[in-house]
Amino acid sequence: DTEVTQTPKHLVMGMTNKKSLKCEQHMGHRAMYWYKQKAKKPPELMFVYSYEKLSINESVPSRFSPECPNSSLLNLHLHALQPEDSALYLCASSQVRTGNYEQYFGPGTRLTVT
Amino acid sequence: GQNIDQPTEMTATEGAIVQINCTYQTSGFNGLFWYQQHAGEAPTFLSYNVLDGLEEKGRFSSFLSRSKGYSYLLLKELQMKDSASYLCAVNYNQGGKLIFGQGTELSVKP
């Protein structure tokens, strides 16, 4: 199984809502990532979890709150978002070892903030 | 900075060969990846280079010169389905943090 799954596929939320994005993988990967991607732009790293601990936070606003409840799951909790946060949110996973950090991406959640 | 540069757009003909170049800052380099991304879909892994030379995988090959901070992705026998964005990404020794280039939008014409 080389699949990373994400739910929901699409999400529309108001600026006062609270919602969560979910990501799951069963490849035994111990590194998981959240990226944000705007149209016609490359993915921008938001967070990295390594062995269920947050290892990188790319100065992301606190209205985005990541959580890694176990080695297979990764959540992104959203609260009080702004319209400019509308984007495709991609989850990825990889092995944790020196050298090849080939990342497998999920299909993404397309988020619209109204 | 860690600027990763690649052309914004390229056009090629079905059946032809196309080369997409990528240049990057060499300090801290720990590996280079090429991903393919179709519109509205997730990036999919194409190749990985950490040592100098050519890696071949079917119709796709990727080359790396670490001293020059240069890589290219070579696509042979182009097919219409190869129309996509091609992303060059570099691992800079930061625990899996990939820095992506802006992507090259490839259009394959009949």
Percentage with pLDDT > 90 across chain A: 84
Minimal C-alpha gap between B19 and chain A (Å): 20
Tokens 């606190």 correspond to A62
Mean pLDDT of A87-108: 86
Asked if residue B3 has pLDDT above 80, the reply is yes
- Encode pLDDT of B33-92 as tens digits: 999 999 988 899 999 999 999 999 999 999 999 999 999 999 999 999 999 999 999 988
pLDDT at residue A8 tops 90: yes
pLDDT of residue B98: 87
Would you say A37 and A88 are in contact if contact means Cβ atoms under 8 Å apart? Answer: yes
Give the pLDDT score at A35. 96
Distance CA A44, CA A39 (A): 12
How much is the average pLDDT of A13-33? 94
B25 vs B2: CA distance, rounded Å: 5
Interface test with A, best of B46, B97, B104 (most A CBs within 10 A): B97
Mean pLDDT of chain B: 93
pLDDT band for position B5 (50/70/90)? very high
Contact B96 A104 (CB under 8 A): no
Do β-strands B9-13 and B104-109 pair in parallel, antiparallel, or remain unpaired? parallel
Question: Between chains, do A90 and B43 touch, taking CB under 8 Å as contact?
Answer: yes
**A103/B98 CB distance under 8 A:** yes
Q: How confident is the model at residue A100 (pLDDT cuts 50, 70, 90)?
A: low
Are residues B102 and A41, on separate chains, in Cβ contact within 8 Å?
Answer: yes
Measured in whole angstroms, how far is the alpha carbon of residue A81 from the centre of its chain?
Answer: 15
Between B62 and A28, name the one with better pLDDT.
B62
* Whole-number pLDDT of residue A102: 84
Q: How many CB pairs under 8 A join A and B?
A: 58
Closest Cβ–Cβ partner in A55, A103, A108 for B95? A55
- Would the pLDDT of A15 be above 60? yes
Contact between B11 and B18 (Cβ < 8 Å): no
Q: What is the mean pLDDT of chain A?
A: 92
